[in-house]
Amino acid sequence: MLDLDRLRALHAVAVHGSVSAAAEALHVTTSAVSQQLAKLERETGHKLLERSGRGVRLTDAAQLLVAHAESILAMVEKAEADLEAHRGAVVGELTIAAFPTAVRGLVPAALAALRADHPGLRVLVREYDPLESLPLVARGDIDLAIVQDWNNEPFAVPDGLEKGSICEDVADVALPAAHPLAGRDVVGIEELAGDCWISSTPGSICCDWLVRTLRSVEREPRIGHMVYEFASQLALVAAGLGNAVLPRLGRCDIPPGVSVVALRPTLIRRIYAVWRQEAARRPAICAALDALRASARSLQPAGRDEKTTVVAAQRP
């Protein structure tokens, strides 16, 4: 009979590309993974790994076994989720990935509520861009990811994953105080399209979205500076070096020299939680989703500026 832990080790090597990366993902030593693979080779009577340069590659027999291992591990995860659902207890470990403003604006209150209501649940948070976190959920490295899309550019959920709405978040534009349009209540994105912009790093969901949005108004984007943190972006805006799109969720303090103006048409980020279909019945997933939605509902306008309100989504 095939041993589940040995199949999991082989699957991890296939997914992560090396024995050392598999060991890191499984939170064990490289030696432990190598031992599991050696035992699996003896168990199956087939050589599973071959040296390829400085690394290894899977043999044909290993590729065949990995295909079965994916199905077996998915069935095991579903069985474990069904047992948790039958028991109804919110226990165990849950790893959540989120992008920076969600980590700052949504996650702290949600984690505090989960710790108070479900002391048997251990939650771990990891900060990732949505383009990074979705593959991590798909291959089982992360249990739940908080991701985003925009009202003018929805994203498709990859096969094998499910999503649930958390909230909607409006974005404004941060302009240097000396900008000719800084005194306006509302500005059209087309009026700013030719300006210099400050955005996150290339390949991130926000940077790619900004480039496509500016191109939609028939202007080639001028992304002058690329930094990830909004506080750093605002420092550059305050110095008069460009504009930045500024979501309201998790918004940091606005420094002197920056004017925040509403955009027309309104730009809305839709924020979701995403998890694997096999884990859909886990009470921990349901509890985390409820806590995140409650955190979104609890958000209050900053000071008296109603434009900072985050609109919570209804339960599906």
Domain boundaries, the chain: 4-86, 89-168+269-312, 170-268
Average pLDDT over residues 96-123: 95
Q: Could you say which of 1.10.390.10, 2.60.40.10, 3.40.50.2300, 1.10.10.10 is the CATH number of the domain covering 4-86?
A: 1.10.10.10
pLDDT number for residue 2: 75
Paired sense of beta strands 258-264 and 186-188, if any = parallel
Span 22-41, pLDDT tens digits: 887 777 888 888 888 888 88
Q: Is 89-168+269-312 assigned to CATH 1.10.10.920?
A: no
Counting beta carbons within 10 angstroms of the beta carbon of residue 24, is it exposed (0 to 12), middle (13 to 18) or buried (19 or more)? Answer: middle
Do the two domains 89-168+269-312 and 170-268 of this chain adopt the same fold?
yes
Average pLDDT over residues 263-286: 91
Nearest one of 103, 81, 107 to 284, comparing CA atoms: 81
Q: Kindly report the CATH number that applies to the domain delimited by 170-268.
A: 3.40.190.10
Confidence of residue 51 (pLDDT cuts 50, 70, 90): confident
Mean pLDDT of the chain: 85
pTM of the model: 0.70
pLDDT at 312 over 70: no
**Which segments of the chain are extended strands (E)?**
49-52, 55-58, 92-98, 121-127, 144-150, 161-176, 186-188, 196-199, 222-226, 244-247, 258-264, 267-276, 311-312
pLDDT number for residue 76: 73
Span 172-216, pLDDT tens digits: 999 999 999 999 999 998 999 889 999 988 878 888 888 888 888
Confidence of residue 284 (pLDDT cuts 50, 70, 90): very high
